[in-house]
Chain A
Amino acid sequence: MSVFTLAGPERDAALLPRLAALTERHREACPPYRRILDAIGSAPPYERVADLPWLPVRLFKTHELRSVPEDQVFRVLTSSGTTGQRPSRIYLDQEAAAAQTRMLAATVRAVLGERRLPMLIVDSRSVVRDPTLSARGAGVLGMMNFGRDHTFVLDEQGLVDAEAVTSFLRRHGGEPFLIFGFTYMVWLHLLGLGGDLSQAVLIHSGGWKRLAEQAVGNAEFRRRLAAECGLTRVHNFYGMVEQIGTVFLEGPDGDGLYCPDFADVVIRDPETWQEAADGVPGLIEVVSTLPTSYPGHVLLTEDMGVVRGVDDGSWPGKRFEVLGRLPRAEARGCSDTFGQG
């Protein structure tokens, strides 16, 4: 059962009642969230998903936002957070933790299938060994569920372990296998590998900032991987710890990021907060039905993005592109809109 089935209009109709119900559930159960909604005067009925009240994603750094009693908290996730910032804290109860794992699995199944595939990880094993897991470690660990015979491309010193890779490709190179890594690490280490990766499915994430500095965009990234490694099944994804389990996955043709059926994006003009027209860049708002234990179902990110098309690509719904971070000063303005709740 694919989770990439809902066309634009039916998606809004399917998501609106579920997201509106979550808004009321969190309003009831999370006092700081209720104070924010009171302060901005937000109340139902909501006519469209874009009408729902959003939270700036950085509020999870400054506020303890949870909608379940403390003794029901099963896992607390933290984001990396840039220097000098407090990390986000995301509270999951058992139900929300189970749902996020399951729905992430359902999402990547669209490109991996049911089977756990032999897995090459463009990172070093130490990244998952740290008990206070970094966001990068948590990302790797989350993806490892979809693999078997996990093999790390880098050794403990961060150098390519050519022997491990060669031996992995000898064992699995002739059958479908999975490669996962952060975009910049993939660019840095996979291209020089020299192996035949034509049977692989690459899933990568983590942002384009460092590649943009080298003037490398997605098209060039895909072109080089195809030309030098034979790697043509390449899927970038966009997601964040504040909406754990929800990933926006690049379609098979590389024509944008697609939303799974339980999620969507709204692009907002950073001056007026109105929904931007398709093709017009703005701030990315992400919505998802997965955050049931904390009010993270409608989040305004600090990333700029643009909708490239709706119901006109490999999968139904919006396809969009992430353009990069909003400059800091403007981002601060956006959280001021909500004051300190």
Chain B
Amino acid sequence: MSHLDRLRAVFRMALNLPPDADVDDLRYRAIPQWDSLAHMALVAAMEDEFSIMIDTDEMIDMSSFALAAELLEKHGVGAAAR
């Protein structure tokens, strides 16, 4: 599975979304499921799935799926998967 597919799965699980939910355009607080508590669960799930440590500022800035994907690249996850 590509790292983006793994990230999609992490999003669906952490935000309690159905398995076929389209998450690519999701933005923080744009849906009720992605509130501040879910945001912390999401960040923790990403850290577990990709074995990375996300800083406070990175966590605050990660306000969309697209930015989460960028954050993975920054931590070298995308590069490692290619």
> Taking beta carbons and an 8 Å cutoff, which residues of A are in contact with B?
74-75, 98, 101-102, 105, 109, 112, 114-116, 128-129, 141-142, 144-146, 148-150
Contact = CB atoms under 8 A, between A and B. Distances in A.
A145 B37 contact: no
Nearest to A97: B29
Interface of B: 29, 36-37, 40, 44, 47, 53-57, 59-60, 63
14 contacts: A74-B29, A105-B60, A114-B55, A114-B57, A116-B53, A116-B55, A116-B56, A116-B59, A128-B37, A141-B37, A142-B36, A145-B40, A145-B60, A150-B40
B60 A148 contact: no
Main secondary structure of the interface of B (DSSP, over half): helix
Contacts of B59: 116, 145
Contact of B56 (A74, A115, A142, A149): A115
B53 A101 contact: no
Contacts of A74: 29
A299 B53 CA distance: 39
The 3 closest A-B pairs by CB, nearest first: A114-B55, A105-B56, A101-B60
Nearest to A74: B29
A76 B32 CA distance: 15
Contact of B55 (A115, A129, A144, A150): A115
Contacts of A116: 53-56, 59
B75 to A, nearest CB: 14
Contacts of B57: 102, 105, 114
Nearest to A142: B36
A109 B63 CA distance: 20
B55 A148 contact: no
